[in-house]
Amino acid sequence: MHNFLPIAYFRNQFVPFTDANISIATHALHYGTAAFGGLRGIPDPQNPQQALLFRLDRHCQRLSNSARFLLFDLSADKIQSIIVDFVKKNQPTSSFYIRPLVYTSDLGISPRLHNIEKDFFVYGLELGDYLSPEGINCRISSWYRQEDRSLPLRGKISGAYITSSLAKTEAVESGFDEAILMNSQGKVCEASGMNIFIVRNGQLITPGYEQDILEGITRDSVLTLARDLGIPTVERSVDKSELFIADEVFLCGTAAKITPVKRIENYSFSTKRPITEKLREKLTAITENRDPQYQDWVYTIPL
């Protein structure tokens, strides 16, 4: 069971989480016509009187963009100010995850986005490690990532997550921890809720935006850090066979942070992962506000 934060933002006000409930006739529940965000925060290890949120502005902008696909006008500034108040009201004492969601809140049938009421809520939960930081085993999913011509993949559209769910369950039920999905072109795309990186001959490689990936904020952070550390990086299509002969493979995302991959199918990787470890140490230091160079990635909220 999850430990939910006690206060939610629901129908334009802050209410106890247990009072924030929706009807079984809610349109979004039937058609997946919603979009969500996911951010991590921690109480500041140096000063428990404040909380730290990683790249709050980017998360709010992405959710605002996702809302546009649903024809819902919700500015990044408005989302940000609600999230800041949400954190102040909840006074978190351990690491937490914030889940904002926009959705068609109307009651009634017929899939559409016009002439329909929409709403926005925020709730949160305590969240430790989502995947084992020691490393995980992955399978290649038999499900393929959707294409941008079928739905807007630059948004985190709820309905799209049926594919992630099928892939994750298939992986776990066949003895793996996580799934790696190919795109419709048969190129490496991403995992069920994380972007993917490989290292070959000292170069960091990740599929580009044109590969139908989600525009991950952790991915963007990793690329920036790698470039600043002088690690050669390239965004390009990646073949499945390259995965198996990579020197290092890791997944990254808000929930998963940087998670090393130990094995894909029957191909095992070395436990020496110099680039993965370097990036992971750097990212951890930044999220804990111990790295002055990237302070503008960390939003401080007085509690």
Query: Would you tell me which residues interact with ligand PLP (CB under 6 A)?
Result: 38, 164, 190, 193-195, 214, 216-219, 253-254
Residue 209 in contact with residue 144, Cβ under 8 Å?
Answer: no
Residue 218 CB, nearest distance to ligand PLP (Å)? 3
Shortest reach from residue 250's CB to ligand PLP, in Å: 12
Task: Indicate the residue among 7 and 80 with the shorter CB distance to ligand PLP.
Answer: 80
CA distances 64 to 58, 109, 174, 215, Å, are 10, 25, 37, 14
Residue bearing tokens 């949160």? 124
Answer for the pair 156, 214: CB distance below 8 angstroms, yes or no: yes
Nearer to ligand PLP, 52 or 116 (CB): 52
Q: Is 143 helix (H, G, I), strand (E, B) or coil?
A: coil
Shortest CB 207 distance to ligand PLP, Å: 11
Residue 187 near residue 207 (C-beta atoms within 8 A): yes
Of the two residues 41 and 216, which places its CB atom closer to ligand PLP in the complex? 216
Q: Which two tokens stand for residue 63?
A: 């959710």
CA distance 61 to 142: 32
Candidates 74, 73, 75, 82; CA nearest to 53 is: 82
- To ligand PLP, the closest distance from the beta carbon of 215 in angstroms equals 7
Q: Which is nearer to ligand PLP, 17 or 36 (CB)?
A: 36
Spatial distance between the Cα atoms of 187 and 147, rounded to a whole number of angstroms:
12
Q: Which amino acid is at 150?
A: S
Closest CB 228 distance from ligand PLP, rounded Å: 18
Nearest distance from C-beta of residue 139 to ligand PLP, angstroms: 16
Cα angle at 63 between 195 and 182, to 5 degrees?
A: 25
If the CB atoms of residues 191 and 264 are measured against ligand PLP, the closer one turns out to be: 191
Query: In a 10 Å sphere around its CB, with 0-12 CB exposed, 13-18 middle and 19+ buried, how is residue 89 labelled?
Result: middle
With CA atoms as reference, report the closest residue to 237 among 205, 203, 191.
Answer: 205
SS3 55: coil
In the complex, least distance from residue 58 CB atom to ligand PLP, rounded to whole angstroms: 8
Residue whose CB is less far from ligand PLP, 214 or 275: 214
Q: In this complex, which beta carbon is closest to ligand PLP, that of residue 6 or of residue 159?
A: 159
Instruction: Pick the closer one to ligand PLP by CB: 116 or 181.
Output: 181
Hey, what amino acid is at 192? S
Dist. CA 84–CA 63, nearest whole Å: 15
CB of residue 81 to ligand PLP, shortest distance in Å: 21
